[in-house]
Structure 1
């Protein structure tokens, strides 16, 4: 389950998905390099967790807004909210 994004720092909440993902990727690269002191690693991990939660919330919001486009037998199009029940 996604974390409550109200608990995230304001600068993270203000980021777009792309900005947060870009920063998260940089953090992962730094941590994977193995050249970060322990205390800095802990801070980077915390920041990365905040960015991940923000990205997850943004994706969940986008998913909720996606609509399933239906084509009727007469060729007309209609849309309905994606219900996730596997119906095609």
Structure 2
């Protein structure tokens, strides 16, 4: 369930984060494992946050203040 070195989609990262949270909420995880899972959850949370920020920036570029929509090609940025 490690997220290092693998770029997950937003949906994949959220799903894994939800799984980590569910397991931690059960409360029957040994302390060392819980710490490791917490760190993994924080990394997943950061990844989700960064993806949401990226989408927000794209939306700001698409929708101008005057409400006019501009179509942009985001494939060039990747």
After TM superposition, the score normalised by the length of structure 1 is 0.67
Runs of 4+ with >2 A deviation: none
- Stretches of structure 2 that go unaligned for 5 or more consecutive residues are 71-78
- Tell me the number of residue pairs that the alignment of Structure 1 and Structure 2 aligns: 64
Q: Which has the higher strand share?
A: 1
SS in 2 for 1:29: helix
Distance 1:23 1:58 in 2: 15
Q: Which protein is richer in helix relative to its size?
A: 2
2:18 to 22, 25, 41: 25
- The two structures, once aligned, show a CA RMSD in angstroms of 1.6
Aligned mates of 2:22, 2:28 — CA distance in 1? 10
**Partner in structure 2 of residue 68 of structure 1:** 63
| Aligned-residue offset at 1:79 | 2.1
Which structure 1 residue ranges, 5 or more long, are not aligned?
Answer: 1-7, 71-77, 81-88
SS at match of 2:13: helix
